[in-house]
Structure 1
Amino acid sequence: MVDEFMKVLSPEIFTRVKSCVNSIQEIRVRCGKKLIGITHNGEKRFDYIVTPYDIDVIVKKISQFSRYAFNDEIKQGFITIKGGHRVGLCGSCVLEKGEIKTLRNISSLNIRRANEIIGSSDKVINEIITNEGINNTIIISPPRCGKTTLLRDIARVLSDKHKMNVCIIDERGEIGACSDGIPQLNVGCRTDVFDRCPKSKGIMLAIRSLSPDVIVCDEIGTEEDMISIIMAVNSGVKIITSIHGFDVTDLYKKKVYSRIIEHKVFKRAIILNNLEKVGDVSSIVDLDNREGDEDV
């Protein structure tokens, strides 16, 4: 069966990658350069030069032949397709009043496969939910280390096994991979998803309308995100989220996170890496024990 990850490819690229598609996590498509696949074992270069036709075919497919309808996603630099796979776009930026209005002359694409790994949270779930209840938890991870996959499985376990009402704020459409508003990936039977909703706005919507026990969201990073998270915690809602970083010091040294540090929002930090395999947990940190640490 051909999945959505393969359906968006041009015929020429499809032919080159189909024999090893199960091992490919990303496909780098750059006009005029060799096709490259990223696998668990590293980079694989194909003996094929990407053409403008390849780019055009893929862009038409991922935008369902209506670029205008997908312009909000295009100007953010990516489109999430059915199945949760994300296609990053690069080209000429069109500016309007200093803001990106759209992208034209798209010349390179990064097609990233969504990975659903049931049970990926088994090694950390007992640090998140304890006899005292849910610990507000932040996952710290470099790119391509499985943080979105882990968040999805945490939501599933809290929803199905622990019978909690979970709300996912899925700003990039990658956690639940909704199609027509319905999650295509397993996020649990008691989970609601705000698809393509800005995190700060979605958190407030969830608090007002859904009475969640837990809110899950990916890659917080704005002042508005921090304010909404604090309001959620003050309302009694637990938070599971993630940031880009390499260790817990990345949480403490960036000014944007100072507000949630000051309010002692998070109790646990889970640090991921991919030194041996994607999703490896390098450490789990009790953030309460860092209070007064001069290094942070």
Structure 2
Amino acid sequence: MLKLIAHLLPPELYERLRRLPDSVHAGLEEIRIREERPLEIVSLDKSGFLTEDGGWSSNPQQAFRPSGELCRKLLGRLTGHSLYAMEEELRKGYITVTGGHRVGLAGRTVLERGDVKAIRDIGGFNIRIAREAVGAADKLAQQLADAARRSIHSTLLIGPPRMGKTTMLRDLARIVSSGAWPDTAMAGWPGRRVAIVDERSEIAASVKGVPSFDVGPRTDVMDACPKAEGMMMMLRSMSPEVIMADEIGRPEDAAAVREAAHSGVAIVATAHASSLEEARGRPILRELLHDGAFSRCVILGRSRSGFEARVVALQHAAPTAREPTAARAAGEAGT
């Protein structure tokens, strides 16, 4: 996994990281770099620290502490040595780089009329490594299949950070777009036109408009575009049958989701929440769930046995022309 981001790292940092144990490399998820403080590694959901000689330790006192000079070199590589050109990304607090990898930033903010204009004196970096997992959503796709439409149900995927929401969304796009339905009962179902609104360039990892990840042959991607505006643009111009977007939660997102739903388009989106109850505690998500914008909710999490995805059929799912209300199970039931 480290090789995926080698081009982003100053050589002196890469050489230390390269000496980490193979088991850490295999599950590498995040590299958290803080100026003059212990360098933290997250691998397979476990946190540890990089030592001076490239080892792994649970003791922060033994950790390598990146200097200010090293952090400046890292920032230069991340921004192509042009902070001005990356001003908009820096203002949002993160940079998405080639390959779909996302780098969170921390430092001193510069305000203008009460809004964040920029981030200066950046001394904190969180490099989140994106990985493609073809087949990760095969089992989930079976549970989300809409037999009446021979497509996918409108679905909200929820879970806390680093729970695989974007990975699942990406693989669902591949399955739906290619018609690679993973069940003999779905044999002959066509691939569907999918529109991905990739505001943070993490789903498709597009480079100059071309996706780096496999999101299917019938998929169009609107890259680096605000979700609400992107969904409306796709509806007007690309006649999608399914729209997918990451991390909805703003009022304008909800309005776009409703418009798409009223147009007969299935919506598959993600949001931050640890449970359905927590999602309903967020006003925008509560309204969408109550209004029937989504007919399924997937709760992603980890248990003692590992990763798990629980599918819930939502009570307030809106009826479709081909699926009368009486055909839906009353109440909510896990599948």
Q: Deviations over 1:215-257 (max 9, x none)?
A: 0001101000000000001011110001101111122222122
Contact 1:28/1:108, CA 8 A, preserved across alignment: yes
Match of 1:212 among 240, 250, 257: 240
Is the counterpart of residue 101 in structure 1 residue 129 in structure 2?
Answer: no
Over 3 Å counting, the alpha-carbon distance change for 1:255 and 1:41 in structure 2 is closer
Q: What residue is the counterpart of 1:169 in the other structure? A: 197
Using CA pairs under 8 Å that are at least 6 residues apart, name the structure with larger relative contact order, 1 or 2: 1
Q: What residue is the counterpart of 2:321 in the other structure? A: none
Is the counterpart of residue 154 in structure 1 residue 172 in structure 2?
Answer: yes
- Calculate the TM-score normalised by the size of structure 1: 0.94
Over 3 Å counting, the alpha-carbon distance change for 1:41 and 1:139 in structure 2 is closer
Contact 1:84/1:174, CA 8 A, preserved across alignment: yes
Count of residue pairs brought into register by the alignment? 292
Match of 1:187 among 215, 222, 236: 215
Measure, in 1, the Cα distance between the counterparts of 2:306 and 2:162.
7
C-alpha displacement of 1:184: 0.5
For the pair shown, which has the larger CA radius of gyration, 1 or 2?
2
C-alpha displacement of 1:67: 1.1
Measure, in 1, the Cα distance between the counterparts of 2:314 and 2:43.
34
SS in 2 for 1:34: coil
| Structure 2 gaps, min length 5 | 52-63, 180-189, 318-329
AA at the equivalent of 1:170: D
Q: What residue is the counterpart of 1:46 in the other structure? A: 50
C-alpha displacement of 1:263: 1.9
| Structure 1 gaps, min length 5 | none
Over 3 Å counting, the alpha-carbon distance change for 1:101 and 1:2 in structure 2 is same
Measure, in 2, the Cα distance between the counterparts of 1:41 and 1:262.
33
Q: Deviations over 1:103-134 (max 9, x none)?
A: 00001100000011000101210122231233
C-alpha displacement of 1:277: 7.7
Measure, in 2, the Cα distance between the counterparts of 1:167 and 1:278.
31
Over 3 Å counting, the alpha-carbon distance change for 1:140 and 1:179 in structure 2 is same
Q: What residue is the counterpart of 1:233 in the other structure? A: 261
Measure, in 2, the Cα distance between the counterparts of 1:277 and 1:260.
32
SS in 2 for 1:143: coil
Q: What residue is the counterpart of 2:40 in the other structure? A: 36
SS in 1 for 2:36: coil
Match of 1:55 among 71, 86, 99: 71
Measure, in 2, the Cα distance between the counterparts of 1:215 and 1:279.
26
Q: What residue is the counterpart of 1:196 in the other structure? A: 224
CA RMSD in angstroms, aligned pairs only: 1.9
Q: What residue is the counterpart of 1:11 in the other structure? A: 11
Within 5 A, what are the aligned runs for 1:215-294?
Answer: 215-276=243-304, 279-281=307-309, 283-288=310-315
AA at the equivalent of 2:50: F
Over 3 Å counting, the alpha-carbon distance change for 1:76 and 1:292 in structure 2 is same
Q: Deviations over 1:163-215 (max 9, x none)?
A: 11100000011000011111111111110110010000000000000000000
SS in 1 for 2:294: coil
Q: What residue is the counterpart of 1:110 in the other structure? A: 126
SS in 1 for 2:124: strand
